[in-house]
Chains A and B, each alone.
Chain A
Amino acid sequence: MSLIRYQSPEITSWPTFGRLSNLRDELDTLFELPFWSNFGRQTQLFSGWTPALDLYQSNDNVIALIELPGMRKEDIEISLHDGMLTIAGERKMETPGGEKAERSERYIGKFRRSITLPTRVDANKVSATYKDGILTVTLPKAEEAKPKQIQVNVS
């Protein structure tokens, strides 16, 4: 299975150093986890916002959970192309009177996150819910990708 984090050019621009605690998070993870386990996840330091994504698999579904706090449902785009799930969107700054944040670590702007799915899925039956800032995408597996029980008749 390959899980490649797609980096869109628009979010690889030089960051503002707003979220310095990222550095600490990264360092903590670096020491806590075994050396190799961090390879899949690129550092967030220089890439704007790369929302965390968890992937689950059951017999019938592939389920993706993406942390997207403070979005509007309309600003989230989910697409499926060639076995690759892409979540994109834009978080808009919402300040009551247009005041500027004094100090902000929250990423505002566009993001894009892609993941190659481990099996084929039925694109017509994909569903998604957004609750407590977590987007849950349920992708039913295509019939041919489901595990099958084969009855063997022994005579």
Chain B
Amino acid sequence: MNTTVWENRGRNGDRTQVERYVAPASSVIENGDSYTLQVEMPGVNKEGLEISVENNELTIIGRRSLPMIDGALMHRESRPEDFRRAFELDPSIETDKISAKMDQGIVTLTLPKAEQVKPRKIAVK
């Protein structure tokens, strides 16, 4: 699931088509009627973000668009790869109502729970 470095080879296994990714840090928060998923993707803006849901698996890909720097690189700690992480979704999540926003390198996804699993108060007569 959480592939740290994930390789996506072309169908013919062509080495030139290898795409490499790193797994971003994330956190999951459960609220009453939804889950909030936060994923750290520094250097990724809204345009570089690809979010897809397939077979109850949510995949987030973030492509970095780093600021253009005029100068020679002297020291590097950041990783050059783009981000990719997949999450298995609980069946209770309404996948067609997932929403996402991006702010300062953090992707925040809201995953609403289906009506039948939301906590509900039962009135006692």
Q: Decide yes or no: A132 and B44 within 8 Å by CB, A54-B78, A65-B78 being known contacts.
A: yes
Interface residue? B26 (CB, 8 A): yes
Interface residue? A40 (CB, 8 A): yes
Q: Which among B22, B69, B70, B72 has the greatest number of chain A C-beta atoms within 10 A?
A: B69
Nearest to A19 among chain B residues (CB) is: B25
Docked Cα-Cα span, A40 to B79, in Å, equals: 15
Interface residue? A109 (CB, 8 A): no
Q: How far is the CB of B64 from chain A (nearest CB, A)?
A: 9
Contact B105 A133 (CB under 8 A): yes
Q: Number of contact residues on A: which range applies?
A: 35 or more
Q: How far is the CB of A101 from chain B (nearest CB, A)?
A: 5
Cβ 8 A contact of B105, one of A61, A70, A97 = A70
Q: How far is the CB of B88 from chain A (nearest CB, A)?
A: 13
**Contact surface of B with A, Cβ cutoff 8 Å:** 2, 4-5, 22-23, 25-31, 36, 38, 40-45, 65-67, 69-79, 103-106
Instruction: List 13 additional A-B contacts (Cβ < 8 Å) besides A56-B73, A69-B106, A99-B30.
Output: A21-B2, A25-B79, A52-B77, A52-B79, A58-B72, A65-B67, A67-B42, A68-B105, A69-B41, A70-B106, A101-B29, A106-B27, A133-B104
- Which 10 pairs of residues, A with B, have the shortest CB-CB distance? A133-B105, A69-B105, A58-B71, A104-B27, A56-B71, A133-B42, A70-B106, A52-B77, A67-B42, A55-B75
